[in-house]
Structure 1
Amino acid sequence: MRKHLLLLLLAVGLAQSGLAQTTFPRNGVYDERPNLYAFTNATIVVDPKTTLQNATLLIRNGRVEAVGNTVSVPAGAVVMNLQGKRIYPSLIDLDSDYGMPDLPPRRGGGLFNTPPQLESNKKGPYYWNQAIQPEADAGLLFKVINPKAEELRKLGFGAVLTHAHDGIARGNGTLVTLADDRENTVVLRNGLSQHFSFSKGSSGQNNPNSIMGVVALLRQAMYDADWYKKNGPAEQANLSLEALNRAANLPAFFEAGDKFGVLRADKIGDEFGRQFIIRGGGDEYQRIDEIKATGATLILPVSYPQAYDVEDAWDADNVSLAEMKHWEMAPANPGMLAQAGIPFALTSSGLKTRTDFMANVRKAIENGLTEAQALEALTTRPAQLIRADDLLGTLAVGKLANFIVTSGNLFAADNVIYENWIRGKQYILANRAIADLRGTYDLNITPQAGTSNLKLLITGNNPDKPDFGVTANDTIKLTPKVAIDNNLVSMQVALDKKQPNALTRLTGYRNGSTLQGDGQLPNGQTVTWSATLSKPFSASATKADTTKKSTMGGLLYPFVGMGNAKKPQPQTLLIRNATVWTNEKDGIMTTTDVLVSNGKIAQVGKNLTAPTGASVIDGTGKHLTNGIIDEHSHIALFSINEGSQSSTAEVRMSDAINPDDVNIYRQLAGGVTSSQLLHGSANAIGGQSALVKLKWGEPADGLLIKGADGFIKFALGENVKQANWGDANRVRFPQTRMGVEQVYMDHFVRAKEYAKAWNAYNAQSNTPKARGKNATATLTAPRRDLELDALAEILAKKRFITCHSYVQSEINMLMHVADSLGFKVNTFTHILEGYKVADKMAKHGAGGSTFSDWWAYKMEVKDAIPYNAALMAREGVTVSINSDDAEMARRLNQEAAKTVEYGGIAEEDAWKMVTLNPAKLLHLDSHMGSIRPGKDADLVLWNNHPLSIYARPDYTIIDGAIYYSQTGDEQNRVAMQAERARLIQKMIQAKAGGQTTTRPTARRQRMWHCEDIEGVMAEGENK
């Protein structure tokens, strides 16, 4: 017992003496010093809420031993007097790739000129898709890279959370210091976090090639991990799924890219009960209410766009209003989020020049962020988010001695970071022994050198590298050549501008607040000189940013041209004396009133009384209809095809909605109020549709029609078998029309078996015996398959098919497959040969959504005729006219009118082809598509007959809110022009004030069509 006690005391004594506990032998003698330092007389910022004046920080063996105003300095401590200096906790960056290997090159080529890689090339028991690599271990990958560490140390960072920025599931993160030691002492904690993104990274697999494919892949991987945890190891080994499960309880970080990505990532987290910490893109202020509602903590970059060079009027036309406003408002993003109560940490990642970091943090402070909030976002909050606040974030006793020594306020423009201490190891960044000479001095040279009233100006943000200037008679500005060595100063200056080579040479030293010494005039005469401080230096004396004091514009909803200062709200409206196209048995009613209340049609009749507070709209001489419904649209989407596999039923177009697409506004101006946003036609079984109302200014989820049935896109023809994809694409099945049929047969047979397995499992688990104690342990749930989920929903009549189609043989084929397997085709869209099979369609129960007169754009449409819609309608098929084109959708009223010309369709029936009939095809006719009490108040007031080429909407109303009006449009155009003019002038002033500018680049918005493919971006590319 006594022996054990002696050993214990010896171990304690060794630890207190500072003897390092290391597993590494040393080649040489051990020289272990006590590592005991006392920093006295400093202003110590212990944490964002606690600042101590004239305090002492005591550190021993890399830890904080004491901090306060009454700390006793023990014998043997190295004492450093920091009078006039400050100490802050070192900063922490949570989005770093420091020490990680460079990303492997992404597989070259494009989708159409290289053979597709359908399967993973990664060897080993891993996930089927290379973009899912949660097994990546940052601790194993990490290597100390001192030049990069030094770059971060100079910014004040002492520790970073680093991970491999490659793929959708990126593996774990490791917390490391920025010391230049061996990895064993630099790594603080490994496996500290889990990381995800929307970028497929270096993966060369075709899947995914769209943002909705990325989301679907990640969702499936998470469901697979859950299945694997319960049942998987008995069937297969999968290191990727094991890694996902192992990290499931760690803080999870998601690199979202922008405001849309933040909301998209949080939606994924909600599905799996995860609250992600989300790395944004700096534009979150544009959707601040929705982002606050997520409850997520954000990681914010401080990388701001440069001003555009808009001095040339043609160049200015290439810059959108959204780009101009974001340039102005981006620095206010952190402050606006802080004001809204949204927690965040700041990161230096994303900066083109990392040395801009602190200057950009200052910009955020100048635009509303407080210094305390900034410090919190760089110290305490990052430490808390990764559960490392026992080590980092403050200078509390027991924490690591990670701190910086500064000349003053960390966020002041003239602040200098002298030293960065990491685990008690000193890294000198600037010589704090050098005196700060900055200020304005009265310069006297005796005898007088022919120039009177001389001033010596020493300025600049860095006292180690100040800027020098000399003025004569308050007007003449001279530029001296100056060298400083500690307190010694030497200067050469041409006091006569007319003789630039006639140099006066002065040498001297600092004596208190005076510089003095000897020198020689150009003629060799010896002089004495002195420079007496007359005005201390202030950072505000430096050249001001000419943009800081100007007024900042406000938010727009959405944040693009023609956005509104406020989101439209439902109103009580009375529309009087209009010609009302009811689409009901009442037909077209003249001089009729329609009352709108609470987003619904309240009354239809003559001489209605306006309720108190109602807005009255005069409809005299005008036509009131319900809004146009586009059954087939691709607007408001970031991409439309996940064309990587023959079936991608798992993807959802709701994951790809772009609510800022100006085509929403343009189509409101054409009377469209609702659209089915369809997947493209790159595969036999495409993705799930999004049914939306065109509520300009709402976020993506705010556009979705609540309670709508689920739809999905199927496709037939050339696109599906890749006949027009080039010779490189001869790999993916199917390559023939017969193969397309087999795809449907195979997938629906599998879906039947899948549904059967789940039904059996659910029935068994719901029996009283199964619900008994420990009974469910014997039940084995089938693996959740998102693709088969969607197909099983079709079989269960819970999801409905819209099928891209042209040729009668293929239309007959799909109806035959559907009849044989027990499902229905809800709608054949395009269907330009529908007139050939209209009787069979009517018998099957399929509707037809077609173009009025499109043909001759490929071989499949050579038999198209403009009588198609009329002939299908006469066979009893529910027919609608669709757009499939952003431009055509603005004039669907005219497309409907063509059926009157081609086929003699009655005007009311023609109008129903773009209103009530698409509502029926989309199962929305119970509350949309006609004007009757109780239905949604989706209305358009036209200035003319709605089928006329001269008709245009005066008002477009959705759920009782005015989303478009002629007067509002005119006002918005005036406001947009004025805002552009203001911002152009501000950018011109910014350039004149010395800001770096960038040349505008003309960009055209992409208009999607069925066959368009958009690849998922690699890391670092514009999302």
Structure 2
Amino acid sequence: MKMRLLVLTFLWCSSYLFAQDYFPKNDGVKSKNNNYTAFTNAKIYVTPTQIIENGTLLIQNGKVVQAGKTVMVPKNTVTIDLSGKSIYPSFIDIYSDFGIEKPKRPSRSGRTASYEPTREGFYWNDHIMPEKNGITEFKYDTKKAKELLEAGFGVVNSHLQDGIARGTGVLIALNTDGTDANRVLDDKSAQYFSFERSVIKNQSYPTSLMGTTALLRQMYSDMSWYAQGKSETKDRSLEALIANKNLVQIFEAKDKGNDLLADKIGDANGIQYAIVAGGDEYENIADIKATGAQYILPLNFPDAYDVANPYQAGYVSLEDMRYWNQAPLTPKMMADNGISFSFTIHDSKSSAKFKENIMKAITYGLSKTKALEALTTVPAAILGKSSKIGSLQTGSYANFLITSGDIFEKNTTLYENWVQGSKTIVNDINLKDIRGDYSLNTDGTAFAISITGEASKPKVDIKQDTVKLKAKISFANDWLDVSFSTDEGKKIYRMTGLVTTTDELSGRLILPNGKEGNFKATKTKSFEDKEKDEKEKKTPKIMPITYPNIGYGYTSIPQQETILFKNATVWTSEDAGVLKNTDVLVKNGKITKIGTNLNGGSAKVIDATGKHLTAGIIDEHTHIALLDVNEAGQNSSAEVTMEDVVNIEDMNIYRNLAGGVTSGQLLHGSANPIGGRSAIIKLKWGESAKNMIYDNSPKFIKFALGENVKQSNWGSFSRFPQTRMGVEQVYINYFQRGKEYDALKKSGKSYRYDEEMEVIAEILNGERFISCHSYVQSEINMLMKVADKFNFRINTFTHILEGYKVADKMKEHGVGASTFSDWWAYKYEVNDAIPYNAAIMHSQGITVAINSDDREMSRRLNQEAGKIVKYGGVSEEEAWKMVTINPAKLLHLDDRTGSIKEGKDADLVLWSDHPLSVYAKSEKTLVDGAVYFDIEKDKLQREAIAKERNELITMMLLEKEGGKPTQKPSKKDKEEFNCDSL
């Protein structure tokens, strides 16, 4: 009792520790409390790796004085004996919105998209708000603080989670007894960024990930320019960026691909972000490590799916099933690869789920030391606050937890969370642990009682012989109440008692007949829960990661092979034509020899007798393998590039390989007259985006004409242009501006770098080529005239369904054509389309390619080429060139691919039949000499996928049977992009 009074006295006085010392004292004569508090005989985790057994923690004035085995305890010290208990540093969450109201999307009606900024004196884009400061939005939230304190957190780093550039954060100690004068540890703790638009701002740009990326690039360029004093106007946003450039920079990416994109932006500007991860980084761990970034990792592992219904189970993709199975690997794999990471409760369903997922990560192999580091020393280091928080080193804040034992064990109780020397009681430290097995004899009947669960929230099972009875228990303030019933609920027993010892439970008993008496339950076994613990600690079977990590992914990335194709019918797509009974040798990713009776040495020999070997199909116009297709926020998006949004997990890559496609131009859509820059890729299934994109890739950009760009079909009445006449004026305006920009740049005078104008200048200088979406002959003529006016030429008209009307003028201009074989009448402006279009343009000497613009058609471009033989009498060889060497010429890649010629890339397809036949199947598709599709391997993969799905479904069913939470299956239809997808 004396000790309790001393502690209460200390706590009452400690509130005065936080009054600022220069304030006048108008509330009486009080002296400052300089008492010490010593916590003795505890297991102390000074840091995750510095552990003191039976040590003493000495604190004073909210700070750690010393932690050690032998600590000199001053006379004016309150001593608290923590024998058998542990002390840990309190946790830190550096990605929070604590105390800052979540922005709400305003209600809007009608056409409200804004193409102009709404603010004056700030950056031109409303989603760039670095001038925002978390401290101005902050209000201490006592209710939320209680929840965080009970979860073990002592410090949170909070910010306004809205917009692309979000401003600065505020570092808060969760000291509910204090005031903002002492609990605000840093009012500008970090600067924050994301790929997400503001929910409260309505400026239309950007509408896509690639637009956001381009905006960030331009923002940093403008920041540098503004810092040099070149601007004639004030920009408070850029001034804030400059002022905050030396703060910790935190970027919310939330996806393994976006992690790399954020790091790429940072690298280009000399910034190393701390990156908020997505939890799927285990799939791409080598590239994640290569960023050199520190990561902030949410622990929001998915629940198993309820797959009891076989029809609903069919909704769940193998990708999602694997993610449930594999996601808890991320912390372990990061630790194993030396990647520094901290945990955040951000995006967790609850604090209880957060703790559960930490322990799940530990069962997947994460060490407890690394788990503790991720909650303490690492977040402190990321923020540059290691001397103050995250440990119990001398001089740090007295932020610590008192627990009954190992904090990462399920049955450990968190008693107290001290922040800046101020105590929050989570569970009574003097709580008696009544868990265990007891025997009870009453009214001539024997009962077996088992008390389990948490010490503060026990559960009870009572059996009569082997029959389990319905029972209830409550335990608070040492008072125990238990009731149970027998005879199918007809007889009810009620027991109440004050617990003085845990060796036996005793008190008053009321029998079913109403008589009162006493009961005594004697402990027969201490609580261990070993069986359940062992079951939970056992690492589940983890499915192997594939490349990419979805169905039909490979266990390893295909490697180049030395292969000799024997006795094939070889379609060269060169002047040599079609060669019968010919051998082709592939080595080091190149076609090295073509001839007969070749000796390949140790090469793998493939008998191609009766089969056809061709160059890989090249799709000049496709929208597969993309995360976005249109940046529709402005009438020009020349600053964006599809290389930023290559989707390496698009199943259409694999399907295209199965259709003999080896290369494709991933084009921006047709939402605006000037679209984005292209990504030209090789379909290397399982590789990273950077390894798919052609090295030294030719530079292309998408332009568009017609209905889409004047917004005929998507109802915008606020963005220019609205007519075909307006489209022409957009081009003239941009090319004139680009001409003036280029002239200024070449003059050597000072100029503001404008990525959009840089691209326009590249077009004018012949360094970037235009592939233009087109239909109506009048507009085709118009754009050629605009190009002539500015002294450059259009490279390719794509779609070009009225090309047959102006083929002579196209030939004169020097433009190529990439068209459909026989599409027509799918919208008004294609009413005049005819299937003889390609043949007519070809007859005029135009380089003609057949493209898909469609993820389904791209899988059968060989058949689309075959149609050209029928419609117009084009020869088989010339028709085949329309999907091989001709698109290669249009893409300026014909020196590297598109035909079978010695020295060219080994992008090859072995067909089972005549390649223009509807019966032909790709048996093998090679890219750079590696087999990326094999029809026999495909059969094995189908079997493996079915087996893996069944195994994962069984594991999920067991989860459900074990009482674990599950989620309802839902069908997730992935959007398949085309030109006008928004």
Q: Could you state the TM-score of these two structures normalised by the residue count of structure 2?
A: 0.96
**Alignment match, 2:846:** 877
* Cα shift at 1:758: 1.4
Deviation sequence 1:123-142 (CA, Å, 0-9, x none): x4111111100111112211
* Cα shift at 1:418: 0.9
What percentage of aligned pairs have identical amino acids?
A: 49
How many residues are treated as equivalent by the alignment?
966
**Alignment match, 1:350:** 347
Q: Equivalent of 1:742, from 714, 717, 729?
A: 729
**Alignment match, 2:158:** 162
**Alignment match, 1:701:** 690
1-structure distance, mates of 2:738, 2:616: 37
Partner SS state of residue 802, structure 1: strand
* Cα shift at 1:25: 5.3
**Alignment match, 1:771:** none
The one-letter amino acid paired with 1:948 is S
The correspondence of residues 331-342 of structure 1 with structure 2, limited to 5 A, is: 331-342=328-339
Deviation sequence 1:549-606 (CA, Å, 0-9, x none): 5421110111111111111111111111110111122211111111111111111111
Deviation sequence 1:177-219 (CA, Å, 0-9, x none): 1122322222101212111101002221110111111111111
**Alignment match, 2:372:** 375
Distance change (3 Å), C-alpha of 1:916 and 1:153: same
2:582 pairs with 1:585: no
Contact 1:508 1:518 in 2 (8 A): no
* Cα shift at 1:491: 3.2
Q: Equivalent of 2:642, from 638, 653, 669?
A: 653
1-structure distance, mates of 2:312, 2:106: 34
* Cα shift at 1:788: 0.4
Q: Equivalent of 2:444, from 437, 445, 450?
A: 450
Distance change (3 Å), C-alpha of 1:35 and 1:219: farther
Partner SS state of residue 585, structure 2: strand
**Alignment match, 1:564:** 554
**Alignment match, 2:287:** 290
Deviation sequence 1:692-714 (CA, Å, 0-9, x none): 01111112212101111110000
Q: Equivalent of 1:611, from 591, 601, 607?
A: 601
Contact 1:459 1:542 in 2 (8 A): no
2-structure distance, mates of 1:424, 1:99: 21
Contact 1:546 1:990 in 2 (8 A): no
Q: Equivalent of 1:1001, from 961, 970, 980?
A: 970
* Cα shift at 1:434: 1.2
The one-letter amino acid paired with 2:970 is T
**Alignment match, 2:121:** 125
Contact 2:129 2:165 in 1 (8 A): yes
Q: Equivalent of 1:510, from 500, 503, 526?
A: 500
Distance change (3 Å), C-alpha of 1:874 and 1:186: same
Deviation sequence 1:215-237 (CA, Å, 0-9, x none): 1111111111010001345x110
2-structure distance, mates of 1:527, 1:592: 102
The correspondence of residues 11-160 of structure 1 with structure 2, limited to 5 A, is: 20-22=19-21, 28-29=27-28, 31=30, 32-34=32-34, 36-106=36-106, 108=108, 114-122=111-119, 124-160=120-156
**Alignment match, 2:204:** 206
**Alignment match, 1:758:** 745
1-structure distance, mates of 2:522, 2:586: 79
Partner SS state of residue 803, structure 1: strand
1-structure distance, mates of 2:468, 2:19: 59
Q: Equivalent of 2:707, from 697, 718, 730?
A: 718
The one-letter amino acid paired with 1:684 is P
Distance change (3 Å), C-alpha of 1:455 and 1:816: same
Distance change (3 Å), C-alpha of 1:547 and 1:801: farther
2-structure distance, mates of 1:440, 1:114: 68
**Alignment match, 1:965:** 934
**Alignment match, 2:680:** 691
Deviation sequence 1:385-419 (CA, Å, 0-9, x none): 01011110100000000111111111110111111
* Cα shift at 1:336: 1.8
* Cα shift at 1:501: 3.0
Partner SS state of residue 191, structure 1: coil
Deviation sequence 1:49-79 (CA, Å, 0-9, x none): 0111111111100000011111122122221
Q: Equivalent of 2:671, from 674, 678, 682?
A: 682
Larger RCO (CA within 8 A; separation ≥ 6): 1
Gaps of 5+ in 1: 1-13, 762-779, 1014-1023
2-structure distance, mates of 1:823, 1:115: 38
1-structure distance, mates of 2:534, 2:334: 26
* Cα shift at 1:282: 0.8
2-structure distance, mates of 1:286, 1:925: 35
The one-letter amino acid paired with 1:697 is G
**Alignment match, 1:410:** 407
* Cα shift at 1:144: 0.4
2:620 pairs with 1:631: yes
1-structure distance, mates of 2:713, 2:471: 70
Distance change (3 Å), C-alpha of 1:859 and 1:18: closer
**Alignment match, 1:482:** 473
2:486 pairs with 1:492: no
Distance change (3 Å), C-alpha of 1:524 and 1:864: closer
* Cα shift at 1:938: 0.4
Deviation sequence 1:762-814 (CA, Å, 0-9, x none): xxxxxxxxxxxxxxxxxx63111010011111112111100111111111111
2:665 pairs with 1:673: no
Distance change (3 Å), C-alpha of 1:1001 and 1:519: closer
2-structure distance, mates of 1:911, 1:481: 79
2:264 pairs with 1:270: no
**Alignment match, 2:301:** 304
Deviation sequence 1:892-951 (CA, Å, 0-9, x none): 001111111011111111000000000000000001011111100000000000000111
Distance change (3 Å), C-alpha of 1:78 and 1:547: closer
1-structure distance, mates of 2:318, 2:865: 35
Partner SS state of residue 503, structure 1: strand
Deviation sequence 1:845-904 (CA, Å, 0-9, x none): 110101111111112111111111111111111100000000110110011111110111
Partner SS state of residue 929, structure 1: coil
Distance change (3 Å), C-alpha of 1:974 and 1:295: same
Q: Equivalent of 1:237, from 226, 234, 237?
A: 234
2-structure distance, mates of 1:805, 1:964: 34
1-structure distance, mates of 2:489, 2:18: 66
The one-letter amino acid paired with 2:292 is G
Gaps of 5+ in 2: 1-12
Q: Equivalent of 2:776, from 804, 807, 827?
A: 807
1-structure distance, mates of 2:265, 2:294: 15
Partner SS state of residue 298, structure 1: strand
1-structure distance, mates of 2:578, 2:975: 39
Distance change (3 Å), C-alpha of 1:207 and 1:19: closer
Distance change (3 Å), C-alpha of 1:993 and 1:26: farther
2-structure distance, mates of 1:270, 1:508: 65
Contact 1:35 1:62 in 2 (8 A): no
Q: Could you state the TM-score of these two structures normalised by the residue count of structure 1?
A: 0.92
Partner SS state of residue 789, structure 1: helix
Contact 2:363 2:536 in 1 (8 A): no
Distance change (3 Å), C-alpha of 1:719 and 1:521: closer
* Cα shift at 1:527: 5.4
**Alignment match, 1:171:** 167
Q: Which 10-residue stretch deviates more, 478-487 or 323-332?
A: 478-487
The one-letter amino acid paired with 1:466 is P
Deviation sequence 1:724-775 (CA, Å, 0-9, x none): 222xx222111221211111111111111111111122xxxxxxxxxxxxxx
Deviation sequence 1:435-454 (CA, Å, 0-9, x none): 1122223x243xx53323x3
Contact 1:848 1:878 in 2 (8 A): yes
Distance change (3 Å), C-alpha of 1:630 and 1:26: farther
